[in-house]
Amino acid sequence: MRHFAMVAAGATLWGCWSLFLRPAGLSWAQNAFLALVAMSLPVPLLLRGAPFHDRRATLALLVVALADAANISLFFAAMKRGPVSVAVLTHYLAPLLLAFAAPWVLGEKRSVRALVAGPVTLVGLVMLIGRPDGQGGAGMTAALGAGSALFFAAIVLGTKAATRAYSPLAVASLHAPVSAGVLLLIAGTDALPTALDSATLQVLAGGAVCGLAGTCLFNAGLSRVPTAAAGALTYLEPLTASLVGWAVFSEALTPVGVAGGLLVLAAGVWVASERRAPASNMALPSATS
């Protein structure tokens, strides 16, 4: 259960992004770029001795880098276009995609609980977030959100493959400079901060806590947790984000929303408690350096 707790802790930290991003007031491109810069900080310490000779793991790391840039761009574009609820719900098609794809891509045993819990947690997420607010552009928002879900699923699958040779910290950090470069190609100079002020430092801190630490925890747990189950636990991110919005930013949380949150949490616990083969038989070997 320790590795499941790591995955859950990583997803929970991802749900705390608003604590750093909202007060800063920067654009989505600046937030994304600064977060990737913060995640890149350990790179100089990791380059020496990195197992670049492992072509399969290094290719997987490159997939993570490219998919992360695309995931960020599509998801934030969906959030900007609105309705926000449509963007979030379509983005969280990713755990369902992982439940179906992991047996084919990684050869993992199919998790029946993850397949059942996927639609259940989506229902809970609908209850938690609420219905679309009637803004226009829902069709394009859904398309952008679904696109981000595809790339997020690719990130998780690539991470699982990369951790065969790379440590969780290396996977979290080494991909970030490439992602930042691709993001600059997509967003241009709009992604660059205008000054090294308190807002910039606040987002960098968020990148270190929610981005780097959260992703390291998630990657460390993912190396010993079935991909489908890890995908189900990522629903803790929107659950945490909703609780943070209610507790810190005075956002409304209805009784239906509370019930939806409890449903998401219960489904995650149910998936995590599924009996499986011993870790030595099912897990990919984790890196030791």
- Quote the CA–CA distance of 124 and 241 in Å, as a whole number: 14
Secondary structure element (H or E) that encloses residue 199, with its range: helix 198-206
Q: Note the pLDDT of residue 276.
A: 60
Domain assignment present for residue 285? The answer is no
Domain assignment present for residue 174? The answer is yes
DSSP assignment of 98-157 = HHHHHHHHT-PPP-HHHHHHHHHHHHHHHHHH-S--S-S-HHHHHHHHHHHHHHHHHHHH
Tokens 């951790």 sit on residue: 163
Domain assignment present for residue 260? The answer is yes
DSSP assignment of 219-264 = HHHHTTS-HHHHHHHTTHHHHHHHHHHHHHS-----HHHHHHHHHH
pLDDT in tens, the chain (289 residues): 899 999 999 999 998 998 998 899 888 899 999 999 999 999 999 998 899 999 999 999 999 999 999 998 888 888 777 666 677 777 888 888 888 888 888 888 887 888 888 888 888 888 877 755 555 556 787 788 889 999 999 999 999 999 989 999 999 999 999 999 999 999 999 999 988 999 999 999 999 999 999 999 999 999 888 888 888 888 888 888 888 888 888 877 788 888 888 888 888 788 877 766 544 434 433 333 3
Number of structural domains (the chain) is: 1
> H helices then E strands: how many in the chain?
17, 0
Domain assignment present for residue 34? The answer is yes
Domain assignment present for residue 289? The answer is no
Do 85 and 111 form a contact (C-beta atoms < 8 A)? no
Is the preceding omega at residue 83 within 30 degrees of 0, hence cis? yes
Q: Note the pLDDT of residue 14.
A: 92
- Quote the CA–CA distance of 148 and 136 in Å, as a whole number: 20
- What pTM value is reported for the model? 0.83
Domain assignment present for residue 286? The answer is no
What is the span of the domain harbouring residue 204? 2-280
Q: Note the pLDDT of residue 133.
A: 52
- Quote the CA–CA distance of 154 and 175 in Å, as a whole number: 13
Domain assignment present for residue 62? The answer is yes
Q: How many CA atoms lie within 13 A of 160 on its CB side?
A: 27
- Quote the CA–CA distance of 122 and 75 in Å, as a whole number: 17
Q: Note the pLDDT of residue 223.
A: 87
Q: Note the pLDDT of residue 132.
A: 54
